Amino acid sequence: MTSAGVSGIRALSPRTSSLTRDTLEEMAAAQDHRGGGGADVWLGPDVGLARSRPAASPLPDGPAADPSPQPARSVDGRWVVALDGAVRNHVALRAHLDYPFRSRDDAELVVAGLALEGISFVERLQGQFALVAHDLRTDTTHLVRDRIGVLPLHYRHVPGGIAFASEVKALLVLGPRPGVDHRSLDAYLAHRTVPAPDTLFEGVKKVRPAHRVAIMPGGHLEETAYWSPPDTDPDGTWTPDDAIEAVRDGVREAVRSALDPGAPVGINLTGGLASSLLVAQAQQLGGDEPVHTFSPAFGDGAPDELARTGRLSRLLGTRHHDVHLHRPDLDELWGPLTWHRDAPLSGPADLAAHVLARAAGEHVPAILCAQGADELFGGHQRYRLAGVAERSYGLPGLPAPLRSGLGRRVERRLGATFSAPERRRLLGQAPPRDRRSAPSVGVDPVDRMLRHDLRHTLPDDVLERLDRMSTAASLEVRLPLLDHHLVELAFRLPTSVKVRAGCTTWVLREAARPLLPDEVIERRVLEPGAGSWWYAGMRDTVRERLTGPGSWIAQTLDQSLVRDLLLRHEHGGHEQDRIWALVSLEVWHEAFFSDLSETPALPRPRGAARPVAASTAHLS
C-alpha cells in the first residue's frame, strides 16, 4: 500500500476560524511521514481537504513520486476526494465506467465512480485504503475505511466543526487539547488496545473497518456498514480436499496481485507457516531473482531465532537479512514510536516491525507480511479454547467464586493482559456498559472468535502496529493474505478444516504441502510474547515510572496491585507482559500530555537529565 495521509476540516459554523489553508497544511505536516513529498490542499465552501504526496523511492527500482496531485475533483465538479492507499480492482472498475479519465490515479477512479453512481460506489472498491469524499451538491462529507481496516482514519469534534485525519496527531493541531478517555482504560488493560470507534483520547474516534461515516450539513453523523464477512457455508458444502484446493488457489492469486512484475520485493520471514508460504509463492511467481527475506531477533534470544530463520532461508533459497533488536533500540525508539502509533506500544513487536521496515527499506521498495493468516484460518492456540471460554462464563450450578475463578483463568489464557477482577481493582470501578463489544454471530465458538478478531484484534492492534511502524520507516507494506477474496473464502469454510484434530491452520498447512518441506509445515512456532530481555536494564526506570511521585499511572491506578505486580516479577513471577502494558501507557501519557510541542523522548527515571528528543525525521 502506498501511504499518503489524508486530513481535513468540516466547518459547521460560518465563524469557524480553523478552516484555513495554514491549518490544513499544519495538519498535513503532522503526518508528513505518511508521504514525505509535501502536501496538496483543496479549500472549498465550509470544507477543506489535504493529502500528503508520496515521495519518490530512493531505490532505483522503487516507485516514482505520485504524478497526480490530490485531492481529486470529478469532471462535473460535484465530488472531491482525498485517498490514502490503493484500489486493487481498479482495472476492472475502469473498464465498466463511462468516464473521460485523464490519468491512471486511483483517486480519479473513485471520483469517477462517485460521479456516476453516488456514494454507494465505495462498496465496489477492493484494496487497502482510507478516503474522504465531499459531495458539494448535498454538502455532505464521507469518511470511508477499507473492509479490513488496514489503513487508519480518525475524526474529532472541534470548535465550529469536525476535523478528520489518518492519524490522531494531525487532529491535535487545532481545538483544545483532548484529555484521556478514562472510559477506554478498561479495554486497554484487557488487551493493550482500544476497539473502534473509541481511542484513549477523549472525543477522538476511529472510523470502523468496512464503515463509512457521513458528516451531514448540520453536523449530524450517520454511520453505515457496507460489508461484513459472509456466513459459513452449510454443512456438506466443502470436502477437505475442495477446501485445500480453494485455499491454495486463493493464496497464489493473492500473492500474484501483491507483486509488481520486475520489481524486487521483501518478505518478513518469521519462521512460521504463513510467512514461509508467502516466500515460496513469491519465489515461484516472481521470476529468476530470489526474494529478499528479513527476520527480526529479540535480545538474548537472537542466536536461536536467527539460526532457525537462517536455515529456513537456505531451504527456500532467499536472499536473507538478519535484523537485530537490542535493548538500546528500546531506549532510542520507545518514545518516538509511541508518537507514531498515537497509542501505547502493545509490545516489543512494535519496535521489531519498525526496525525490520527500516532495514528492508535499504533493499526493497515494498515488503509482504503474512498478517491475517491466524485470524482467517484459526492459527492462534486460543481458538482451541473457544468452546471452554464460552461455557466458563455461563456454567450453571457452580458457586459464584468458583465460576469467577474459572473465568479469570480462561480469560488470561485467551490473552487478556489483566482479568476483569484485576481491571476492576486497578480502576476502582466496573467497565462502562456502553463500551462492551457486542458478541459476534457465528455457527460455533471458533467461528465466533474468528469473527471477533477480524472485527477488533486485527485492525485495532495488529494492523495499527504495522501501519504506524512501517510509515515511520517510509516503507510500503502489502498484506496479500488479507486480500478481499481470500478473506471471504476463509469465512465461508467450516471450522472443521481450520482447527482439526488439535491442529491449528490445518487447511493452510495442507495447501502449503506442494510448496514447502515437511519440517516447515509440521514445525510449531510459539506465539510471541514480550519476553524478559527488555526488563533487565530498565528495572529502576520501570519502578520509578509506575510508582514514583510524578507517575500518572501511580495517580490513576490502584498502587497496591501495581506494587504486587513488580514484587512478583522480581521473585520470578514472569509478569513482564503486564508490566510492559503499564509502562507503555505511562510513556504514551507523557508523549501526548506533558508537552505536545516536542517529540517524546525515551522512557527514563524522572530524576535523570532530559535528553534531546529524537527527531521524527531520523526514523524515516
Segments forming the whole domain that contains residue 169? 6-225
Evaluate if residue 2 carries a pLDDT over 90. Answer: no
216, with CB counted inside 10 A (0-12, 13-18, 19+), is middle
Distance of CA 417 to the CA centre of its chain: 19
531 found inside a domain = no
Q: What is the pLDDT of residue 444?
A: 93
Q: What is the pLDDT of residue 519?
A: 85
386 found inside a domain = no
d(CA 294, CA 80): 40
CATH of the domain at 261: 3.40.50.620
Over residues 1-26, the mean pLDDT reads 85
Check if the beta carbon of residue 474 is closer than 8 Å to that of residue 33: yes
- Split into its structural domains, the chain has a count of 4
One domain for residues 433 and 451:
no
One domain for residues 467 and 575:
no
One domain for residues 408 and 470:
no
385 found inside a domain = no
One domain for residues 453 and 431:
no
One domain for residues 613 and 497:
no
Check if the beta carbon of residue 50 is closer than 8 Å to that of residue 25: yes
Q: Which of 465, 487, 522 is the last residue of a domain?
A: 522
One domain for residues 424 and 329:
no
527 found inside a domain = no
* Pick from 62-66, 238-242, 516-520, 555-559: least confident: 62-66
Q: What is the pLDDT of residue 412?
A: 67
Q: What is the pLDDT of residue 52?
A: 87
β 266-268/292-298 pair status: parallel
List, for residues 77-136, the tens digit of each pLDDT value.
Answer: 999 999 999 998 999 999 999 999 998 999 999 999 999 999 999 999 999 999 999 999
- Show Cβ contacts of residue 458 under 8 Å, excluding neighbours closer than 6 positions: 148, 149, 371, 372, 375, 482
List, for residues 16-51, the tens digit of each pLDDT value.
Answer: 678 899 999 999 999 999 987 778 999 998 999 999
One domain for residues 344 and 412:
no
Q: What is the pLDDT of residue 604?
A: 44
Q: What is the dihedral of CA 99, 105, 107, 109, to 10 degrees?
A: 30
Please compute, for residue 41, the number of CA atoms within 13 A of its CA located in the half-sphere on the CB side. 17
Evaluate if residue 198 carries a pLDDT over 90. Answer: yes
One domain for residues 48 and 173:
yes
Pick from 468, 189, 209: nearest CA to 340: 468
Long-range contacts of 155-159 (CB under 8 A, 24+ apart): 155/204, 155/205, 155/207, 155/213, 155/215, 156/201, 156/203, 156/204, 156/205, 157/203, 158/9, 158/18, 159/16, 159/18
Cross-strand pairs, 132: 82, 143
Over residues 127-148, the mean pLDDT reads 97
One domain for residues 352 and 422:
no
Q: What is the pLDDT of residue 594?
A: 82
Q: Which of 488, 522, 556 is the last residue of a domain?
A: 522
Reported as a pLDDT band with limits 50, 70 and 90, residue 240 is: very high
CATH of the domain at 100: 3.60.20.10
Over residues 559-566, the mean pLDDT reads 96
Q: What is the pLDDT of residue 59?
A: 62
One domain for residues 37 and 170:
yes
233 found inside a domain = no
Q: What's the full length of the chain, in residues? A: 620
528 found inside a domain = no
Confirm whether residue 66 is marked as ligand binding.
no
List, for residues 287-320, the tens digit of each pLDDT value.
Answer: 778 899 999 887 655 566 778 888 999 999 999 9
One domain for residues 200 and 185:
yes
One domain for residues 282 and 173:
no
Helices marked H in 342-395 = 348-360, 373-377, 386-392
Evaluate if residue 405 carries a pLDDT over 90. Answer: no
What stretches of 196-334 adopt beta strand conformation (E)? 204-206, 211-215, 221-225, 266-268, 292-298, 319-325
Q: Which of 225, 248, 264 is the last residue of a domain?
A: 225
Q: What is the pLDDT of residue 351?
A: 94
